[in-house]
Structure 1
Amino acid sequence: MSTSKQKIYWFCQFFGWSLLILVEYVAYVLELGFDPDALYLAIANIFLGITLTHLYRLMIRRWNWVRLPFFRLAPRVLFSVLVMASIMTMLNLPIDRIIVPQRMVEEPWLLIGYIISWGKTMLAWVLSYTAYHYVEENRNAEIERILLKTSIRETEAKVLRSQLNPHFVFNALNSIRALVYENPAKAQQGITQLSNLLRNSLLADRRKTVELREEIKTVEDYLDLEKVRYEDRLRSNINLDGRTLFWQVPPMMLQTLVENAIKHGVSKAVGGGFVEVQSAVVADKLHITIRNTGVLGDKEASGGFGLANTAQRLELLYGPEASFHIFQEEDGAFGESVVCAEITIPTQSEGIFRRREEAIK
């Protein structure tokens, strides 16, 4: 229990028992006058009540009664109330016989009356504390479930963060190897770009999101390396809205989609094709569109793990407001088949626009 809760608990103990006993004592004084013995008994009752209920608290916490089902908890609570009421009766009844003997004559069921009277008081305390502790235990259990669920979602998100396709790395190395003698400067540039891609891939599991401008640099490095392989068969165009550059997106997500567009679209087209990336802010949401030459066909066959990965990562990071759709566009002006992938990401914070303004300055 935290220090603040302990202070509140002891304050309630002393204040509650003092108020209860002193009210009865004041009523006694108004009716029969001041009696020091009655005052001592009242003080003794305060400390005895605090002691008994505190022992009950220690017992219920040690044996975790609040985690028991109701049919097992109820008998324990009632028995505890009976024991505490009996102890209070054992203290008060003999002393009351001395202080107010005239009242003892008028009560036919004296012992039972005392136990019932103190039992009501103890039951009120026990029910209040048990109910509070029961609610707190359920709240803590719910918090633990939420934390566990969050931890699982975070683990899933780390697993789902994309890594570079090993086939791409192999092809890129072969392309760079071919350039070593033909164009050393371009080969050196290709090695730098591949190094950047590998570094970003390794860092992907350490960061939940990156700025769109950083992710686009990864996409540009990837496209440049693929152009070494496909040459004029691969055309690319990146058109970004300036307001979106500092928007947070999942790392390596766009690279995965662009890789998917080339692998299942451009590479299969006889005359090659194009990949186009656009971004815009619509209704306070980031919209990213990736268009490429190709035929969608079966999503599982044409997208594999990448498409399912993208949708699941967006769901884990942003919830239901984020979305991912991929569809076949109508044939263009030259009869070219085009596949379009659309990503929608909700606003995370106003900080993205503030960082953009600071960067511009």
Structure 2
Amino acid sequence: MSKQKIYWFCQLFGWSLLILVEYLAYLLEDGFQADELYLAIVNIFLGITLTHLYRLMIQRWNWVRLPFFQLAPRVLLSVFVLALIMTMVNLPMDRLIVPQHLMDEPWPLFGYIMSWGKTMLAWVLSYTAYHYVEENRSAEIEKILLKTSIRETEAKVLRSQLNPHFVFNALNSIRALVYENPTKAQQSITQLSNLLRNSLLADRRKTVELREEIKTVEDYLALEKVRYEERLTSYIELDGRTLFWQVPPMMLQTLVENAIKHGVSTAVGGGFVEIKSSLVADKLHIIIRNTGVLGDKKASGGFGLANTSQRLELLYGPDAQFHIFQEDDNPDDGSHHGGPVVCANITIPAQSEGIFRREKVKNRE
């Protein structure tokens, strides 16, 4: 049943019940009188009409949007006016139809206003309070939807980042290969095309499978190796159980880009970038290690810290984590480096994978 139908049902049933109960008291005391019945029917329609006019008035002037201290006097004044109108109709009629009931009333006008005032106050408070609460709830929902829209817009902006300087450098490197190694040049053009396509599609997808994101990283590393040659070494080691896990698009590429720009490129003899994935306690862990010194995060572009942290929070909430820190200079871990190393650790909770898997299946259907 619609709200409109519920409203009219409550109006008809409520006023009919109220007036007929009062009429029944007169009927038991005075016996049947047609005039009393007619007056009861008039009161039913008058009560419905007056309260409906009040409803139209508060809707037209949006009273429920007013602060409480502005709404309260308007409500009280409305109750008084409605009670006064009912009194002005009923008091003269009762003087003609049932004068015996007014003989013991020293102040009948005051008594009638108080009696109808209680009835009108109950109706007005019920109706106004209901819509006041509903309006506040709707306003809260609108705020949540607006906040969600803003967060989604922010996420789209963060997803579609591809450094224009990288594109410029990659094109210069490919130009040098055109005559020296045409096959390698064609392969590099394909890899750059893949990167650009993924960057353009990033703002349309919340997440992608880890294996797809790693393919983007591999294309990026291949293009950077054309530029840095032997000065750049990369290692990728993935747990097979993590390949289909959903991760934010272009996130790892951004971190690897910062690792090369602020780490490997500044090292005298070049350096390495290492990517590992694993499942620990039903959480996806991605570790990115690279040659470099963490230093000033602002000066180094934060190694993608601000971008990555914000995106993870927007998508997964507080359960997702991102940490970046400086490792010891010479850890005895059998790694591929000698010298200072920066380590970035990403943790994505298991429930996020389920959410995005269901979303993906639903989109396919």
TM-score, with length taken from structure 2 = 0.91
Cα contact 2:326–2:342 (8 A) shared by 1: yes
Identify the residue that residue 332 of structure 1 maps to in structure 2: 331
Supply the distance in 1 between the matched residues of 2:28 and 2:58 (Cα, whole angstroms): 39
Supply the distance in 2 between the matched residues of 1:48 and 1:341 (Cα, whole angstroms): 74
Q: Deviations over 1:71-100 (max 9, x none)?
A: 332222122111111111122222222322
Identify the residue that residue 25 of structure 1 maps to in structure 2: 23
SS in 2 for 1:280: strand
Relative distance call for 1:195 and 1:173 in structure 2 (3 A) is same
Identify the residue that residue 74 of structure 2 maps to in structure 1: 76
Identify the residue that residue 146 of structure 1 maps to in structure 2: 144
Supply the distance in 2 between the matched residues of 1:101 and 1:14 (Cα, whole angstroms): 29
Q: Note the C-alpha offset of 1:313.
A: 1.6
SS in 1 for 2:249: coil
Relative distance call for 1:82 and 1:34 in structure 2 (3 A) is same
Relative distance call for 1:16 and 1:349 in structure 2 (3 A) is farther
SS in 1 for 2:166: helix
Q: Note the C-alpha offset of 1:108.
A: 1.2
Q: Deviations over 1:238-292 (max 9, x none)?
A: 1222232222222111001001111122222233222111122223322111111
Supply the distance in 1 between the matched residues of 2:243 and 2:46 (Cα, whole angstroms): 69
Of 214, 217, 225, 1:216 maps to 214
Q: Note the C-alpha offset of 1:125.
A: 0.6
Of 233, 238, 241, 2:239 maps to 241
Q: How does 1:115-126 map onto structure 2 within 5 Å? A: 115-126=113-124
Supply the distance in 2 between the matched residues of 1:99 and 1:82 (Cα, whole angstroms): 25
Identify the residue that residue 348 of structure 2 maps to in structure 1: 345
Q: Note the C-alpha offset of 1:220.
A: 0.7
Of 166, 183, 190, 2:181 maps to 183
Supply the distance in 1 between the matched residues of 2:106 and 2:73 (Cα, whole angstroms): 29
* Structure 2 letter corresponding to 1:341: A
Of 126, 129, 132, 1:131 maps to 129
SS in 2 for 1:300: coil
Cα contact 1:246–1:355 (8 A) shared by 2: no
Identify the residue that residue 229 of structure 1 maps to in structure 2: 227
Q: Deviations over 1:296-325 (max 9, x none)?
A: 122222234732111112122222222211
Cα contact 1:162–1:253 (8 A) shared by 2: no
Moved more, 114-123 or 285-294: 285-294
Of 318, 321, 324, 1:323 maps to 321
Q: Note the C-alpha offset of 1:356.
A: 11
* Structure 1 letter corresponding to 2:162: L
Q: Note the C-alpha offset of 1:67.
A: 2.3
SS in 1 for 2:42: helix
Supply the distance in 2 between the matched residues of 1:122 and 1:180 (Cα, whole angstroms): 88
Supply the distance in 1 between the matched residues of 2:52 and 2:294 (Cα, whole angstroms): 70
Q: Deviations over 1:173-199 (max 9, x none)?
A: 122122222221111110000001011
SS in 2 for 1:218: helix
TM-score, with length taken from structure 1 = 0.92
Relative distance call for 1:349 and 1:295 in structure 2 (3 A) is closer
Identify the residue that residue 40 of structure 1 maps to in structure 2: 38
* Structure 2 letter corresponding to 1:329: E
Relative distance call for 1:353 and 1:316 in structure 2 (3 A) is closer
Q: Note the C-alpha offset of 1:69.
A: 2.8
- Unmatched 5+ stretches in structure 2: none
Identity %: 83
Identify the residue that residue 297 of structure 1 maps to in structure 2: 295
Cα contact 2:191–2:223 (8 A) shared by 1: yes
- Unmatched 5+ stretches in structure 1: none
* Structure 1 letter corresponding to 2:331: G
* Structure 2 letter corresponding to 1:15: F
Relative distance call for 1:303 and 1:75 in structure 2 (3 A) is closer
Supply the distance in 2 between the matched residues of 1:212 and 1:46 (Cα, whole angstroms): 69
Cα contact 1:290–1:342 (8 A) shared by 2: yes
Q: Note the C-alpha offset of 1:133.
A: 1.4
Supply the distance in 1 between the matched residues of 2:64 and 2:37 (Cα, whole angstroms): 37
Supply the distance in 2 between the matched residues of 1:285 and 1:46 (Cα, whole angstroms): 66
Cα contact 2:160–2:200 (8 A) shared by 1: no
Cα contact 2:246–2:353 (8 A) shared by 1: no
Cα contact 1:243–1:353 (8 A) shared by 2: no
Moved more, 255-264 or 203-212: 203-212
Cα contact 1:246–1:356 (8 A) shared by 2: no
Q: Note the C-alpha offset of 1:126.
A: 0.6
* Structure 2 letter corresponding to 1:131: A
Relative distance call for 1:356 and 1:13 in structure 2 (3 A) is closer
Relative distance call for 1:355 and 1:204 in structure 2 (3 A) is closer
Supply the distance in 1 between the matched residues of 2:300 and 2:326 (Cα, whole angstroms): 12
SS in 2 for 1:6: helix
